[in-house]
A and B are shown apart, each in its own frame.
Chain A
Amino acid sequence: MYLSRQDLSDPNKPSHALVASHEIQDWPLYYQSQARLQQAKACQQLYQQGLPAKDLGLTQIPLVALDFETTGLNAQQDQILAIGIVPFRMDHLATDQAKQWLIRNQRPLAEENVIIHGITDSQAQSGISLEQAMTELLKALSGKVVVVHYRPIEQNFINAASLSIFDQGLQLPMIDTMAIERRLVKQNWQQRWQEWWRPGSRSLRLDPCRQRYGLPSYRPHHACSDALATAELLLAQYRHLGLDKQSWHSLCQLY
C-alpha cells in the first residue's frame, strides 16, 4: 500500500500502524504531517525537530547508531530488554555520548534470554520503565538519522513500543548497514552463486560483515556494543566505498 501526498497531509487520517517505513517516499513531508498529527509530547517533539538539513556535508550529518536487545523477533509478543545508542558523525565517532538503558519488564525473563543477553532478572528490575526509556530515546534521536543493522527489528519494536505507550505508531528513516552490505554483495553474480551454493559464506550478520572490513569481534547481544559495532561498520563501509554524496544517499536510501 502506498500513501499519497494527500494522505500524508490529511490531518484527519490516522497515521499509526498504516505506514510501513519503506513506503514513505518523502520523509521531510512525513515529518511535517506527523508533527501535527502526533499527540504525545515526546513524539511530537521528535517530528517537530525534523531531519538534518539536506545540504549538510555528508560527514556533518548527525547520526545515531541504535540497537535493541529483545526477548525474540516478534514485536507484537516479545519485549525490549535493553536499548543502546551511540551518536556520531562520519568524521567523529566517540564513546562519550553512548548510552544504554535496561528496561524493567513485567514478565520474568526466560532462561535462554538470560544466557544470550547476560541480563538477569535482578538487573532487569534495576532498570527503568519502557515509557521512561522511550521518552529518553526519542529525545536522543531527535534531529538525527538512525543507523541500524537490519532495519525491520528496530523499526518494528520502536513502532510497537510507541503504540503501546503513546497510542500512536512511530516511523523513522533508518540507514541499514545490512542493506548496504547486501547491495554490495549483490553487485557480483559469482558471489551470489557462492551464497546459494554454500549458504553463510557471505553472511550478512553483523560480525561477519565487520570481519570483511578487518573490524574486531565485539561481545554480541550487548545493546551498546552492538550499536557501536554498527556505527563502526558504517564508517568502514563508507571508507571502502569512497562515494560522492549522491550515490551514498541512494545507497543508504536516505530521506
Chain B
Amino acid sequence: MEIEQIAILDHLGLHSPFKELDRSTLEQIASQIEIRYFRAGDIILSANEPIHFLYYVRSGAVELTRPTGSLFNRMGEGEIFGQLGLLIQGRVRYPASAIEDSLLYCLPKALFWQLFDQWPSFAEFVEVEDRSRPKDRTQGSNMTLPVRQIMSTELQLIRSQARVQQAAQQMTEQHVSALLVVEQSDDKYLLQAGEQGSLVGILTDKDLRSKILATGQSPETPVADIMSDQVISIEADQPLYRALMLMLEAQIHHLPVSHRQQLVGMLSQSDLLKYESRSTLFVVQQIQQADSLEQLTILSKQVRASFCKLVAEDASAQMIGQAMAIIGQSFKQQLCTLIEQQLGPAPIPFAVLALGSMARQEQFLLTDQDNALILHDEFQPKQHGAYFAQFGQQLADGLHACGYSYCTGKIMASNPDFRLTQSQWLTLFQTWMLKPTEKRLLDASIFFDLNSVYGDGQLAQPLQDLIATLAPQQPRFLAAMAHNAMARTPPLGFFRDFVLDRDGQEKPSINIKSRGTAPLTDLIRVHALACGCKAINSFARLEELSAKGWLPKNTVDNLSAALEFIALIRARKQANDCEQHRRLSNAIIPEELNSIERKSLKDAFQVLSNAQKFLSFRYQPNRK
C-alpha cells in the first residue's frame, strides 16, 4: 500500500517534535490532519476561545501576541503553536494571526494527547514553554535569527504620484523615517516584482532634507522625483547579520523585506540596534562619526573586542570575515574623508581600492593594509602629483596607526607604483594576463581581488570588467596562477597525519593561514578568474561557480565547508590569543585541538589537497 499523504509526511519528518517519531506514527498523523489556509492579516486564534488543534506552519508565517497585545513570537515554516493552550485549560493562550499567506496543518486535540502520552520526546518538546522562543529576547544578541523575527510588518506605503508634502505628513503621523513607494496596486498580488503594484522606490527623511528643503524645491513635487529607485531588499529567512552587512555596505538605514518576491516587512537599523550592543554596527557608527585621527585610533582598540564577541557568539567564519572587513572599510573611508577635509577636495576624480582580504570580505585580525589609488586619466604629475603623494602617505600612516600595519610587500597608496591612472592600471593588468610569468604573478594575485571603497567607484569598474572578460581567454595566465596556487600545500603527510613546522615556535605547529585559508582562497580565485566570476568573496565565488556549472555542486559544497572550518579554527585561535593577551599568531598546535576538530581539520586539508591536484590537471598552459 502506498502512502497517501506523502507530501505531508515528508515535511513533518524534517522538524521537531515530529522527526523523532517513527514512520508509522507519522503516517497516522499525516492521515488525520486538517488543512487550513489563511491570508496575510487574517486572525487564526482569538484570546481565550477554546482550542481544538495543535497548529503546524507548513508555509507562510504566523505571529503570536500576548493577551496584552505585545508581540510574543513569530513562527515560520516547520514550527508549531497552540501547544500551551492545549496543555492549559484547552483555551487559546496567545492569539495568533497570519503575517504572510499561510498554510497550516492542524492536528486534532485527541491526536495531540495520544502523541503526548506515547512519546516522551514529544511531551518534553511541547511542555518547554520557552523552547520555541528566540533565545535572545531576554539575553545577549543572536545575529543568526531570521530577519522575519524582528522586522516590522506594518508597511508604510505611499503612491509614487503622491506629493512630497503628503509623504512628510504620513511620516510625521506614523512616526516613521521611511516610506515604501509603490505604483498603483491592483491589490491582488500586491507588490510582486515586475507587476502592477510593485515596489518602485524608497523615500527617507534624508531625501526630504537634502532634495527638498536644502534645494528649495516645492512640496508639491511628486514623490517619484526624489525617491531612491535603487531599492536594496532582503529575503525574510536571511539571518540578521546579512541584513546588517547589507546596510553597512550600502550605507542605508532601511531594508524592505521580501518573501517569495512579495513585500512582507521592513527592517530598520534601529530594529537591529536592539540586538547588537557593542559589536559591528555600533563600532561602525562610531567610526563614521569620528572627526580626528586620535578618535579613530582610540576606536581601533574596540575592533579586537568586536572580533572576540563574534567568535564567542558562534558566528560563522564567513560572517566574522564580512564584519571585520566592513569595520576595516569604514576606517579607510573615514580616514579618506578626514584627509580630504585637511588637504582640500581632490583636484581630479580618483578612487581608493581595497585589495586582498578586505576586498574579499574575509578579514580577521592581524592584517596588512593592502590598498592602492586609481586616478582619473586627466592626471598631470606636475600639477596633481604632490596632492596624491601626500594623500597616499597620510592614508598609509593613518591605517597603520589604526592597527592595519604597513604592507610588507609595499602594496600601499603611499607607494608611487600603486598610484596609477586608470589607463596605467588597465595596461598593467593586461601585461599580467597577456604576458604571464609565474614570478611576475607571484605578488600580483591579491590585485585580482579588488574593490573600490572610497571616491569615484566608476573608475574601478573597467578594471573589474577587464579581468572578468580577459582572464577566461588566457590559458597561460590561468596555468601560471594555478601553478602559484599550488605552491603552498596543506600540511598532510602520506599517512594522513599532520606535517608540523618547527621554525621559530616552541612547539611544532601548523600555520593555519599560509597552509590552509590562503591556498584555499588562491585556488578558488583561479577557478573564479577562469569562469569570469564577478563575485569577490570566496564563498560567493563558490556559489557562482556552482550556479554557472563550472564546478559540480558537491565539489563546491566540500570546498565551502573546508574553507569555513579552517577559517573558523583560525578565528578561534586569534580570539584565544586576544583574550590571553598573547601575541596574535596563526600557529595552530594540533594537540590543543580536540579529537573531533583534529579529524575535521584533516578532512578539510584533504579536500584542499584533492582540489589542488585537480587544479594542475585542469589549467594547463596549452589547454583551452
| Smallest CB gap from A127: residue in B | B2
* A214 lies within 8 A of B260 (CB): yes
Closest-by-CB residue of B relative to A126 is B1
B residues 241-280 touching A (CB-CB < 8 Å): 259-260, 262
Assess whether B31 is in contact with A218, with CB atoms less than 8 Å apart.
Answer: no
Residues of A within 8 A of B58 (CB): 216
Query: Is B59 a contact of A216 with CB atoms below 8 Å?
Result: yes
Instruction: Flag whether A56 is at the interface (Cβ < 8 A).
Output: no
* A54 located at the interface, meaning its Cβ lies under 8 Å from any Cβ of chain B in the complex: no
Asked if B30 contacts A95 (CB within 8 A), the reply is: yes
* B39 is an interface residue with CB less than 8 A from chain A: yes
CB atoms of A235 and B2 under 8 A apart: no
Minimum CB–CB distance from B190 to chain A (whole Å) comes to 11
Q: How far does the Cβ of A243 sit from chain B's closest Cβ, in whole Å? A: 13
Option from A93, A191, A215 in Cβ contact (under 8 Å) with B195: A191
A228's partner among B5, B11, B189 (CB-CB below 8 A) is B5
A-B CB pair tally, cutoff 8 Å: 93
Q: Does A9 count as interface, using CB distance less than 8 angstroms?
A: no
Q: Decide if B32 touches A239 in the complex (CB within 8 Å).
A: no
| Cβ A94 vs Cβ B33 within 8 A | yes
B24 to chain A, nearest CB (A): 16
Q: Are A214 and B35 in contact (CB under 8 A)?
A: no
Q: CB < 8 Å: which of B6, B34, B186, B196 contacts A224?
A: B6
| Interface status of B100 (Cβ within 8 A of chain A) | yes
B10 and A95: CB pair below 8 A?
no
**Does B125 sit at the interface, judged by CB under 8 A?**
no
Give the contacting residue for B34; candidates A84, A92, A213, A215; CB below 8 A. A92
Chain B nearest CB, measured from A127 CB (Å): 9
Please state if A95 and B195 are interface contacts (CB–CB under 8 Å).
no
Query: Please, which residues of chain B bring their CB within 8 A of the CB of A218?
Result: 7
Contact call A95/B103, Cβ cutoff below 8 A: no
Q: Is B4 an interface residue (CB 8 A)?
A: yes
- Would A216 and B103 be within 8 Å (CB), given that A188-B196, A235-B37 are in contact? yes
Contact A236:B196 (CB < 8 A) given known A216-B59, A216-B103, A224-B4: no
Contact B37 A95 (CB under 8 A): no
Q: Is A149 an interface residue (CB 8 A)?
A: no
Contact A232 B35, CB 8 Å, known A95-B4, A218-B7, A219-B6? yes
List residues of chain B with CB within 8 A of the CB of A190.
Answer: 195-196
A99 at the interface (CB under 8 A from B): yes
Nearest residue in B to A93 (C-beta to C-beta)?
Answer: B35
- Contact present for B2 and A100 (CB under 8 Å): yes
With the chains together, A23 CA to B6 CA distance in Å? 37
The smallest C-beta distance from B194 to any residue of chain A, in angstroms, reads 8
Provide the residues of chain A in CB contact with B77, threshold 8 Å.
Answer: 216
Whether the pair B188, A232 counts as a contact (CB closer than 8 A) is no
Specify which of B11, B102, B188 lies most central, judged by the most chain A CB atoms within 10 Å of its CB: B188
Q: Given the complex, which residues of A lie within 8 Å of B42, measured CB to CB?
A: 239
Residues of A within 8 A of B189 (CB): 212
Q: Does B103 contact A239, Cβ atoms closer than 8 Å?
A: no
Of residues 186 to 208 in A, which have CB atoms within 8 Å of B's CB atoms? 188, 190-191, 194, 201
User: In the assembly, what is the distance between CA of A190 and CA of B188, in Å?
Assistant: 14
Given contacts A93-B36, A95-B31, contact A214 B59 (CB under 8 A): yes
Taking the complex as formed, is A146 at the interface, i.e. its CB lies under 8 A from any CB of chain B? no
Asked if B38 is at the interface of the complex by the 8 Å CB criterion, the answer is: yes
Interface presence of A45 (CB below 8 A)? no
Task: Tell me the B58-84 residues at the A interface (CB within 8 Å).
Answer: 58-60, 77
Q: Contact partner of A184 among B32, B33, B100, B188, CB < 8 A?
A: B188
Q: State how many residues of chain A have any CB contact under 8 Å with chain B.
A: 36
A228–B30 CA distance with the chains assembled, in angstroms: 12
How many residues of B are counted as interface, with CB atoms below 8 angstroms from the partner's CB atoms?
37
> Interface readout for B24-49 with A: 1 if CB under 8 Å, 0 if not?
00000011111111110010000000
Residue from A102, A228, A231 with most neighbouring chain B CB atoms (10 Å)? A228
**Does residue A211 face the partner (Cβ distance < 8 Å to B)?**
yes
A215 touches B7 (CB 8 A): no
B101 touches A (CB below 8 Å): yes
CA distance A102 to B1 in the complex (A): 9
Closest Cβ of chain A to B181, distance in Å, is: 19
Taking CB as reference atom, which chain A residue is nearest B108?
A94
Interface 1/0 per residue, B595-615 and A, CB below 8 Å: 000000000000000000000
CB <8 Å contact, B6 and A239: no
How many angstroms between the C-alpha atoms of A212 and B37 in the bound complex?
Answer: 13
Residues of B within 8 Å of A231, CB to CB, are: 35
- Indicate whether B8 reaches chain A with its CB closer than 8 angstroms: yes
Instruction: Decide: A214 near B196, CB < 8 A? Known: A222-B7, A224-B5.
Output: no
A96→B4 CA distance, assembly (Å): 10
Q: In the complex, A95→B32 CA distance in Å?
A: 6
Question: Nearest Cβ distance between residue A19 and chain B, in whole angstroms?
Answer: 33
* A225 at the binding interface (Cβ < 8 Å): yes
Least CB separation from A91: chain B residue: B36
A240: interface (CB < 8 Å): yes
With an 8 A cutoff between CB atoms, is A133 at the interface? no
Considering the complex, give the chain B residue whose CB is closest to the CB of A191.
B195
- In the bound assembly, the distance between CA atoms of A235 and B39 in angstroms comes to 11
Whole-angstrom CA separation of A184 from B186 in the bound complex: 12
Q: Is the CB of A214 within 8 A of B7?
A: no
Per-residue CB contact flags for chain A residues 61-95 toward chain B (1 = under 8 Å, else 0) read: 00000000000000000000000100000001111
Q: Check A96/B260 contact, CB under 8 A, given A190-B196, A218-B7, A240-B188.
A: no
Residue of B nearest to A212 (CB): B189
Whether B7 and A236, one on each chain, are in contact in the complex, defined by CB atoms closer than 8 angstroms, is: no
A247 adjacent to chain B (CB < 8 Å): no
Given A190-B196, A218-B7, A240-B39, do A232 and B33 touch, yes or no (CB 8 Å)? no
Digitize B1-21: 1 where CB-to-A-CB distance is under 8 Å, 0 elsewhere: 010111110110000000000
Q: Determine if A98 is an interface residue (Cβ-Cβ < 8 Å).
A: yes
Closest chain B residue to A242 by CB distance?
A: B39
CA distance A99 to B2 in the complex (A): 10
Closest CB in chain B relative to A232 CB, distance in Å:
6
- Taking the closest CB of chain A, its distance from the CB of B183, in whole angstroms, is 11
Complex Cα distance, B2 from A84, in Å, reads: 11
Q: Are B5 and A214 in contact (CB under 8 A)?
A: no
A37 CA / B60 CA spacing, docked (Å): 49
Contacts of A60 in B (CB 8 A): none
Asked if A214 and B2 sit within 8 Å, CB to CB, the answer is no
Beyond A102-B2, A212-B192, A219-B10, 19 additional pairs, beta carbon < 8 A: A95-B33, A100-B4, A190-B195, A201-B194, A213-B37, A214-B101, A214-B259, A216-B77, A216-B103, A224-B5, A224-B6, A225-B5, A228-B35, A232-B37, A232-B103, A235-B35, A236-B37, A239-B38, A239-B39
Residue positions of A touching B, CB distance < 8 A: 84, 92-96, 98-100, 102, 123, 184, 188, 190-191, 194, 201, 211-216, 218-219, 222, 224-225, 228-229, 231-232, 235-236, 239-240
6 A-B pairs with CB atoms under 8 Å apart are A96-B32, A98-B5, A194-B195, A215-B37, A224-B6, A228-B5
